[in-house]
Amino acid sequence: MRFVSVVIMLSFLLAAPVGLWGQAVRKVAIDAGHGGSDPGANHSGCLEKDITLKVALKVGEMIRKRFPDVGVVYTRKSDTAVPLVDRSRRSNDAGADLFISIHVNSSVSSSPCGYETFVMGPSKSKQNLDVAMRENNVITYENDYMKVYDGFDPKSAESYILFSLMQDAYFDRSLRFSQLLQAQYARRMPSSSVNRGVKQAGFLVLWRTASPSVLTEIGFISNEAERRYMSSEAGCNAIALSIAEAFAAYKKEMDALCAIPQSAVAPAVKPAAPDKKEPAAKPAENKPSASKPAESKPKPASSSGDNKPARTDSKAVSPSPEVSQRYNPATVRYKIQIKSAASPIKRNSSELKCYAVSAEERLIDGRYKYFVGNVKSYKEALSLQSEVRSKGFADAFVVAFASGNVVSLVDARAVAP
């Protein structure tokens, strides 16, 4: 089966190390789901393709106004049909640093409601699989779709099982944006709406995107209250603002990590000579920088590191009152992540090398991650990271925890430098 060979081939291609977890965000691709001859979900004369396009255009407009230096790419700007393979291709060809696909949910019952965001991965439940099957079924509108998508059958559960063979090079960043997006929805959606959380499923539109990517379902068209809300000007504006604000928060985090100087860390391999023609990037602020250096897109990450931040900063960031209230410095700890896998790694496995016994295993966001160390300061963490890398874990990176939970490295360093 061609689909099997293609997926296996991709899993090897995605095993190359990535150079920078905090990829600067210079361009975003906004994908309005469905369109043209494909109406998507529909109910009482209301079409998914109309809602998604209206929201997508508003999101792009909001981002342009707030970040004039950020390029906004649309997969469609009118009621036209765009094949799934072309949606990801347009994003990749434009060099987008983030791909946001906007959709509307549906159910045979009028009761389900709420908003949810998906990242690429194996479906964790039948419900997730059903959503992916419904959205992927759009390819049946295309000619020779079995050939174009290498034998993928959107109605076959077997095709989705094969997605588990893939290692998503952008999983962590996709997950982070999804979390920020769900938090923004929670602030603006009607109280009757339900936060259905961040989930994984095998969406074809996310499969071939060469950047962090998410598919967000903004509400149920089959639910009367949500259908009216999504169709209204006020509801459409609130949804678009939620996505735009999540983008702003994500950009701030990624740009801050990208701005970290290479000299602050001792890598296991000799770093490439710096480009003297480009000025060092400055940490992101609420207002966009007037001039920022060009940033090449990262190579796909290995399965062991899950999108590693190969650069880390030695300077502390002054904590904002909000961050200081959210995190107690006494609870902040830094650990070094050495491995990540979809299934538990056996303790006698050579993958963990000298840390086979001492590595701490944690199940985080559906993946088994392995950490060493537990230090209180970021300076100690940098030293430990250098030591771990010298022992064969070239992609090891620092992860921050507060009260036992993973938190933003930027926020943690602000209160526990």
Domains and CATH numbers, the chain: 2-254 (3.40.630.40), 301-415 (3.30.70.1070)
Is the full-model pTM beyond 0.75? no
- Tokens in use for 7? 């997926």
Cβ-count burial of 267 within 10 angstroms (0-12 exposed, 13-18 middle, 19+ buried)?
middle
What confidence score (pLDDT) does residue 261 get?
Answer: 45
Pairwise CA distance, residues 40 & 103, whole Å? 9
Return the higher-pLDDT residue of 317 and 55.
55
The answer to whether the CB of 118 falls within 8 A of the CB of 100 is no
Mean pLDDT of 339-358: 85
Residue 123 DSSP label: -
Mean pLDDT of 313-329: 53
Pairwise CA distance, residues 312 & 22, whole Å? 10
Q: What residues contact residue 323 under an 8 Å CB cut-off, 6+ apart?
A: 411, 414, 415
For 324-356, letters b (16+ CB in 10 Å) and e give: eeebeeebbbbbbbbbbbeeebeeeeeebeebe
What confidence score (pLDDT) does residue 55 get?
Answer: 98
| pLDDT band, very low/low/confident/very high, at 290 (cuts 50, 70, 90) | very low
Question: Is 155 a residue whose pLDDT tops 70?
Answer: no
CA torsion angle for 208, 230, 218, 130 (degrees, to 10)? -80
Pairwise CA distance, residues 310 & 308, whole Å? 6
Mean pLDDT of 109-133: 72
Q: What residues contact residue 218 under an 8 Å CB cut-off, 6+ apart?
A: 51, 55, 102, 103, 104, 105, 115, 185, 230, 239
| pLDDT band, very low/low/confident/very high, at 268 (cuts 50, 70, 90) | very low
Query: What is the tens place of the pLDDT at every residue in 233-254?
Result: 999 999 999 999 999 999 998 8
| pLDDT band, very low/low/confident/very high, at 262 (cuts 50, 70, 90) | very low
Find the angle CA(94)-CA(2)-CA(161) to the nearest 5 degrees: 85
Find the angle CA(38)-CA(39)-CA(45) to the nearest 5 degrees: 155
Q: Which of 140-144, 209-213, 333-337 has the lowest mean pLDDT?
A: 140-144
CA-to-CA separations, 113 to 106, 193, 241, in angstroms, rounded: 9, 6, 20
Cβ-count burial of 73 within 10 angstroms (0-12 exposed, 13-18 middle, 19+ buried)?
middle
Query: What is the tens place of the pLDDT at every residue in 177-209?
Result: 999 999 999 999 999 999 999 988 777 778 778
| pLDDT band, very low/low/confident/very high, at 393 (cuts 50, 70, 90) | confident
Checking DSSP bridges between strand 397-402 and strand 332-341, what pairing results, if any?
A: antiparallel
CA-to-CA separations, 159 to 89, 138, 153, 155, 219, in angstroms, rounded: 21, 15, 6, 8, 27
Task: Tell me which residue has tokens 């209180």.
Answer: 376
Task: Tell me the CB-side half-sphere exposure of residue 83, using CA atoms within 13 A.
Answer: 14
- Tokens in use for 159? 């095709």
Pairwise CA distance, residues 394 & 270, whole Å? 11
Mean pLDDT, the chain, as a whole number?
Answer: 76
The answer to whether the CB of 59 falls within 8 A of the CB of 76 is no
Neighbours of 277 (CB within 10 A): 7
The answer to whether the CB of 386 falls within 8 A of the CB of 265 is yes
The answer to whether the CB of 161 falls within 8 A of the CB of 122 is yes
Query: What is the tens place of the pLDDT at every residue in 76-102?
Result: 999 999 988 899 889 999 999 999 999
Q: Is the Cα torsion angle 123, 124, 130, 131 positive or negative in sign?
A: negative
Q: Which of 152-156, 217-221, 406-410 has the lowest mean pLDDT?
A: 152-156
Q: Which of 138-152, 176-190, 257-271, 402-416 has the lowest mean pLDDT?
A: 257-271
